A and B are shown apart, each in its own frame.
Chain A
């Protein structure tokens, strides 16, 4: 398996623009997580899905952020409108049976810069 695949790897956009980040989890994994990483706050969980259903989105910073998982092999994280403070590395991760006793596999991340 190729692992968790994220695109794009880098994104530079202007404030106010819509940004869409994409993720393909590992085949067969039931759980998909979106994290954001900054120097100040570290890795923060934004939202996670189980069997394509959003379970907890309490980490989503505000209404400008939305995430979908239309099928088991694809998820998107959208920011509209984007702001400079959204600049961060966004990671998607997947796992089987939750993360209590199984490894979470991360994608290589999308480095977002909002100018």
Chain B
């Protein structure tokens, strides 16, 4: 069974803090990885893809460690608007589908 495991949190951080989320996945053949963001009572939306070399998008940095089957997301200078649930997502190798982790909740306070 394909698994994507995340710490559910919540992570409570003050504005301006740096916070990191991690997830592990079981399917070693997976080739594509993503972070999705889901606001309360809303639909998931793509935050960023995760590449082997690591990638950055503004305050967000994603890293992939294939050997350890581990993905991370770093958020610098947290904003109130970053409060959401962050879903770690792994492509099901050989299929056109995604397996979602249950998500990590982030609460950024003033």
Chain A residues engaging chain B, CB cutoff 8 angstroms? 31, 33, 35, 41-43, 45, 48, 50, 55-56, 91, 95, 97-101, 103-104, 106-109
B32 interface neighbour in A48, A56, A100, Cβ under 8 Å? A100
A56, A97, A103, A106: which contacts B97 (Cβ < 8 A)? A56
Q: Does B57 contact A (CB under 8 A)?
A: no
Chain B 66-97: CB-based contact to A (< 8 A → 1; otherwise 0): 00000000000000000000010001000111
B95 neighbours in A (Cβ, 8 Å): 56, 98
In the complex, 10 of the A-B residue pairs with CB atoms within 8 angstroms, ordered by the A residue number, are A42-B101, A45-B98, A45-B99, A48-B97, A56-B95, A95-B96, A98-B96, A100-B96, A101-B32, A107-B43
Known: A106-B43, A106-B44, A109-B43. A48 touches B102 (CB 8 A): no
Chain A: interface secondary structure?
strand
**Tally of chain B residues near chain A (CB < 8 A):** 19
Among A98, A100, A101, A103, which residue has the most Cβ atoms of chain B within 10 A? A100
A100 lies within 8 A of B43 (CB): no
Residue of B nearest to A95 (CB): B96
Q: With CB as the reference atom, state the residue of chain B lying closest to A109.
A: B43
**B45 cross-chain contacts in A, Cβ below 8 A:** 106
Q: Which residues of B contact A56 (CB under 8 A)?
A: 95, 97
A2 smallest CB distance to B (angstroms):
14
State whether B97 touches A43 (Cβ < 8 A): no
